[in-house]
Chain A
Amino acid sequence: IAGITQAPTSQILAAGRRMTLRCTQDMRHNAMYWYRQDLGLGLRLIHYSNTAGTTGKGEVPDGYSVSRANTDDFPLTLASAVPSQTSVYFCASSLSGDLNEQFFGPGTRLTVL
């Protein structure tokens, strides 16, 4: 059982380019999340999805979009990347929303030049 996989592991991207970070979980969890981790700012929620077909905005959603077409996948898209989106991105999932443990993927290190 892989748990949560993220791709790519790392990426260097030119500013203005479009990029999709992929996240897949095989635990049949209903809820999924995207966080970014930055030195001095900690982990911040970008977007979340409580169940397939629904999404919501987190603390720092600007410049990012998500979709949840099925239970397993939760891609994060940067429509036009900017240098301030340089960060480590983590996908997470939990069985349901409020009461359950969150599990994290290995992360994607993104550099926007």
Chain B
Amino acid sequence: KQEVTQIPAALSVPEGENLVLNCSFTDSAIYNLQWFRQDPGKGLTSLLLIQSSQREQTSGRLNASLDKSSGRSTLYIAASQPGDSATYLCAVRGDYKLSFGAGTTVTVRA
């Protein structure tokens, strides 16, 4: 059974600092990995999708890396802003479903 772990569970940084969020998974037989953002009381917003054959994916201030063989992904958010405060979830796609981590709750202090 796929286990997805996100460390740390919570993170507080001053505005302008770079954010580094970690995701690890136990079974490397994945199709892809997806990073989501969730604001309190809201649905999930897809941030980045990395296919299993890719090493990284970038969108604006966001960059995600994937090391499938070691079962790790890292999401980097450059020059954080208070609007980046949210919970960030990673999910890996195996057979028929996504397996989610518990998330990292980020607070960016103005």
Using a CB–CB cutoff of 8 Å, the interface residues on chain A facing chain B are 33, 40, 42-45, 48, 50, 56, 58-59, 90, 92, 97-107
Contact = CB atoms under 8 A, between A and B. Distances in A.
A104 B44 contact: yes
A57 to B, nearest CB: 9
A101 B97 contact: no
B43 A106 contact: yes
Contact of A106 (B42, B91, B102): B42
A107 B43 contact: yes
B100 A48 contact: no
Interface of A is mostly: loop
Given A42-B101, A45-B98, A104-B44, 7 more contacts: A33-B97, A33-B98, A90-B43, A98-B95, A99-B93, A102-B46, A104-B43
A59 B97 contact: yes
B89 interface: yes
Contacts of B31: 98-99
Contacts of B45: 104
B43 A42 contact: no
A90 B43 CA distance: 7
B100 A107 contact: no
Contact of B103 (A42, A103, A107): A42
A93 B99 CA distance: 15
Contact of A43 (B32, B49, B51, B89): B89
A104 B38 CA distance: 10
Contacts of A106: 42-43
Interface in B4-41: 31-32, 34, 36
Please list the 6 inter-chain residue pairs (A to B) with the smallest Cβ-Cβ separation, ordered nearest first. A104-B44, A43-B100, A98-B31, A101-B49, A106-B43, A104-B43
